[in-house]
Structure 1
Amino acid sequence: MEWKTRRLASASVAVAAATALVAGCASGDGGSTSGASGDTLTLWTHNAGNSAELDVVKKIISDFNSSQDTYKVKLQAFPQNDYNSSVVAAASARKLPCLLDVDGPNVANWAWGGYLAPIDVADSEVPLSDQLPSTVGRYQNKVYGFGFYDVALTHFARKSVLKEHGIRIPTIEKPWTRAEFDAALAKLKESGKFDYPLEMGTGGSGEWWSYAYSPQLQSFGGDLMDRDGYEAASGTLDSEKSVEWATWFRSLVSKGYISKKSGADPNKDFLAGKSAIQWDGSWNAAKNADKLGDDLAIIPPVDFGNGPKIGGASWQWAMSSSCSNKEGAQAWLKFSRQNKYFVDYAKATGTLPATDTAAQQIDGYEPGGKFNDLVEFARKFAEVRPVTPAYPYVSTEFEKAAKDILAGADPKDALGRAAKDIDTNLKTNNYYAG
């Protein structure tokens, strides 16, 4: 099936909005329908509002342009909230740039939709085999993208608070069990010292819900869908183990352990002592360490019965299928794969370096460093979200169901509805075959 006849699985992009965005994209640097004008290639990134990461992108582009006189890369940055819809609209109008970044869970959808072309970076300075598996985007046994970093979910707490309440500080080798975790929350609640014993970031939206909570679902023994062929959610998302997770998830609200909708800055609330334990990301590790020093506990995910789990995959670089200068695009991709840029990204963004070599050059992330456990979490516990073009739709349905459950919906009914809707989407799209 030709790429232009396919539809993005996500239901979040409206036709009217896409039409408006096409007009906007056509007037930008990506005016060529091929993504290149002669030997000048356009690059799109989602980092318009993230100056630290954008500066690294600019540095790589500047270094590449100065290193040779065959190709020139031009940058166009978008705000993250607008980025995905801009790409979808541009793809519909055949106006994608040659180079673009893509959120890891969307790689399969964009590859299936014909937005992306496979890449070959085999002779780069940093081999793909040296990277954390979650930082390489594959679909149907082909590489479509790679990232310079990942992030890891973790529990943050104060060691002094846990000690005061007789709560064991878990380790990678011996994480909390469900029983231990529930008992800890009960003790912290009973103390009356916190607005909520646990901060789970329930005020967030979008991909946070699948990223933050589906690993807990997986640790219970459930999943977002059947990964054997990716042809059904029924029987998996609404399975007994998935319902068990959802019932527990809802109990966190009913027992007063978490807020049904947390505040605008959950990490700030944690640092202010409003919560005792926070389920958060590695991006706040340095800030928390600066504030709490040696009192900060970086805690692995809970083992709810099927091993500790966290989400894997972050932003990755890719090449569009419509690029008329793929040789130039791959030259930039290969050039970017230098160890120094892996280091630059991690230092600028506070993320986990995608290679061990880079980690050894970043204070705190080297073996034995105060943040090295986060790298180990990513290596040992990370589960990529379902590698299927259906994923954006799956994620949207899971978010709806999880929010309904926290609001009081019957867990089995909410998950059952989501599973049926996902199955319908799969069938409508011929199970994303081809």
Structure 2
Amino acid sequence: MLFRTRRLATASVALTAATALVAGCTSGGGSTSGASGDTLTLWTHNAGNSVELDVVKKIIKDFNGSQDKYKVKLQAFPQSDYNNSVVAAASARKLPCLLDVDGPNVANWAWGGYLDPIDVTGSEVPVLSQLASTVGRYDDKLYAFGFYDVSLAFFARKSVLEEHGIRVATMDKPWTKAEFDTALAKLKKSGKFEYPLEMGTGGSGEWWPYGYSPQLQSFGGDLVDRSDYKSASGTLDSKAAVDWATWFQSLVAKDYMAKKSGADPNKDFLAGKSAIQWDGSWNAAKNAEKLGDDVAIIPPVDFGEGPKIGGASWQWAMSSTCSNKAGAQEWLKFSRQTKYFTDYAKATSTIPATEAAAEQIADYQRGGKFDVLVEFAREYATVRPATPAYPYISTEFEKAAKDILAGADPQKALGQAAKDIDSNLKTNNYYSN
């Protein structure tokens, strides 16, 4: 497969440095032959995440020991370098056979020619049994799958909500916009919190569309028109989208939320600096350990079009230049065992991608301490637009949202972002195949 000349896998690519890094890590095609069978190189972004990396190592060790036809060799990168390294390797046609990819980037990497479709039929865990957000498809083809997802939620202290006459929202009856705004006003008026709401506005990059575009979507807007992925104008700058942006901006204007949060928002929440935190399932166990039965896990607000959260995390895929695709797919099939889905969730405190795996973890079982987070992922997850243009869309949304919090006119900021996205779509011939 030929690589396309226009790629948007990352907003900026440190190509020279990444190419040097890649040159020392792989030989062309990602597969070599040897006396012990074909060696398949696998890349992961987990160099700085030992608990998840250990699970990857376990799967590789088990696979290598289960047969003598193929051998998988691991190469781990720091997450900060990973995407740049993949782009550089793709340019040099030196991608490994196996690699992980952040879910929102699957469409871009598939369109760009980095990935080939995969066939994992016959594996222990059927793809259809997974959370939809953990399966990476593009152009009606399967390109990737993940072992887990994460879930956003509001965290609060039940005692604080009760003290201020605020109802603990449930999935059956989530907060409405009016109810949420009233709650924030009460908490601010109490004088106990400089900023009653913590939404992680000090973050950067993918956090912005992951954390805030679901709220935009709950208002009735979106990042792009998903009917054909050919335009953002009329969607990203629609009345519903501007209503979201106006509300988002008001959180800062009313001192409900900091324009830029601290370095560790969860630490600030646990210290009592904020009353309600918009955060991920990755901190649920820490919150429960600190707050005990006082912790409240609350669904996203229904701003009119239902509660929504972002969906899709890291997934496994096969490169288009792999010289032994049969071997790569054998590893992918082998990895699709319930025990590994369970191992990932236990090691990383993430949500298992299958119900069978969730039932093997006490906290995620039906009625378990964090079962509600599984339900959030199942019922509310909205994947980011499955278009090759997504990395560009993500960057434009982050810029517009930050400008809005800084005081920019919501209509103008979203309108400019929509125009820029439309221009990118047109320049790239709407990412047609």
CA distance in 1, matches of 2:6, 2:49: 30
Structure 1 residue 254, shift from structure 2 partner: 0.3
SS of residue in 1 equivalent to 2:156? strand
What is the CA deviation profile of residues 307-350 of structure 1, one whole-angstrom value per residue up to 9, with x for unaligned ones? 00000000000000000000110010000000000000000000
1:12 Cα deviation from its structure 2 partner: 2.0
Aligned to 1:35: 30
Structure 1 residue 408 and structure 2 residue 407: aligned?
Answer: yes
- Does the Cα contact within 8 Å between 2:18 and 2:81 map onto a contact in 1? no
The Cα of 1:11 is off from its aligned counterpart by 6.1
* Structure-2-length-normalised TM-score: 0.98
Secondary structure of the 1:404 match is: helix
Query: Could you list the per-position Cα deviations for residues 72-123 of structure 1 after superposition, in whole angstroms to 9, with x for gaps in the alignment?
Result: 0000000111111110010000010000000000000000000000000010
What residue is the counterpart of 1:316 in the other structure?
315
Matched, 1:20 2:17: yes
Residue of structure 2 equivalent to 1:134: 133
CA distance in 2, matches of 1:268, 1:65: 41
Instruction: Report if aligned partners of 2:363, 2:369 keep a CA contact under 8 Å in 1.
Output: yes
Q: CA deviation at 1:21?
A: 1.2
- The answer to whether the 8 Å contact 1:21/1:86 transfers is yes
Equivalent in the alignment of 1:125: 124
Residue deviations 1:173-227 (CA, integer Å, cap 9, x gap): 1100000000000000000111210000000000000000000000000000100
Question: Which AA in structure 1 matches 2:135?
Answer: V
- The match for 1:177 is 176
| CA shift for structure 1 position 7 | 1.7
What's the % identity of the aligned pairs? 76
Letter in 2 for 1:91: A
Could you tell me whether the CA contact under 8 Å between 2:109 and 2:388 is conserved in 1? yes
Instruction: Please report the TM-score for the alignment, with normalisation by the length of structure 1.
Output: 0.98
The 1-side partners of 2:112 and 2:307 are apart by: 33
Please state whether the residue corresponding to 2:189 is helix, strand or coil.
helix
2: distance between equivalents of 1:11 and 1:419? 19
Distance apart, 1:20 and its partner CA: 2.5
**C-alpha contact (below 8 Å) 2:10/2:83 kept by paired residues:** no
Q: Secondary structure at the match of 1:275?
A: coil
Structure 2 equivalent of residue 427 of structure 1: 426
Aligned partner of 2:264 in structure 1 is 265
- In the aligned structure 2, how far is the partner of 1:8 from the partner of 1:206? 18
Aligned residue number for residue 302 of structure 1: 301
Aligned to 1:44: 43
Deviations 1:340-388 (A, max 9, x none): 0000000000000000011011121000111000000001010000000
Looking at structure 2, the residues matched to 160 and 80 of structure 1 have their Cα atoms a distance apart, in angstroms, of 38
Aligned residue in 2 for 1:250? 249
Is the partner of 1:364 in helix, strand or coil?
Answer: helix
Which residue identity does 2:15 align to in structure 1?
A
Paired residues in the alignment total 429
C-alpha RMSD of matched pairs (Å): 0.8
After TM superposition, list the pairs within 5 Å mapping 1:72-221 onto structure 2.
72-221=71-220
CA distance in 1, matches of 2:385, 2:11: 19
Secondary structure of the structure 1 residue equivalent to 2:258: coil
Q: Is 2:287 the partner of 1:288? A: yes
What secondary structure is seen at the aligned counterpart in 2 of 1:346?
A: helix
Alpha-carbon distance change, 51 to 11 in structure 1, aligned in 2, over 3 angstroms: closer
Gaps of 5+ in 2: none
2:363 corresponds in structure 1 to 364
1-structure distance, mates of 2:51, 2:195? 33
Distance in 2, Cα, partners of 1:376 & 1:168: 20
1:155–1:277: 8 Å Cα contact kept in structure 2? yes
Separation in 2, partners of 1:10, 1:135: 19
CA distance in 2, matches of 1:243, 1:198: 21
Q: Match of 1:23, as an amino acid?
A: A
Q: Which residue of 2 aligns with 1:386?
A: 385
Q: Secondary structure at the match of 2:166?
A: coil
Instruction: State the 1:13 CA deviation.
Output: 2.3
- 1:10–1:396 CA contact under 8 A, matched in 2: no
Provide the C-alpha distance between the structure 2 equivalents of 1:7 and 1:48, rounded to a whole number of angstroms: 29
2:275 counterpart SS class:
strand
Structure 1: give runs of 5+ residues left out of the alignment.
none
Q: Say whether the 8 Å CA contact 2:217–2:305 is kept in structure 1.
A: yes
Cα deviation for residue 10 of structure 1 reads: 4.9
Equivalent in the alignment of 1:236: 235
Name the CA distance, whole Å, in 1 between partners of 2:349 and 2:191.
34
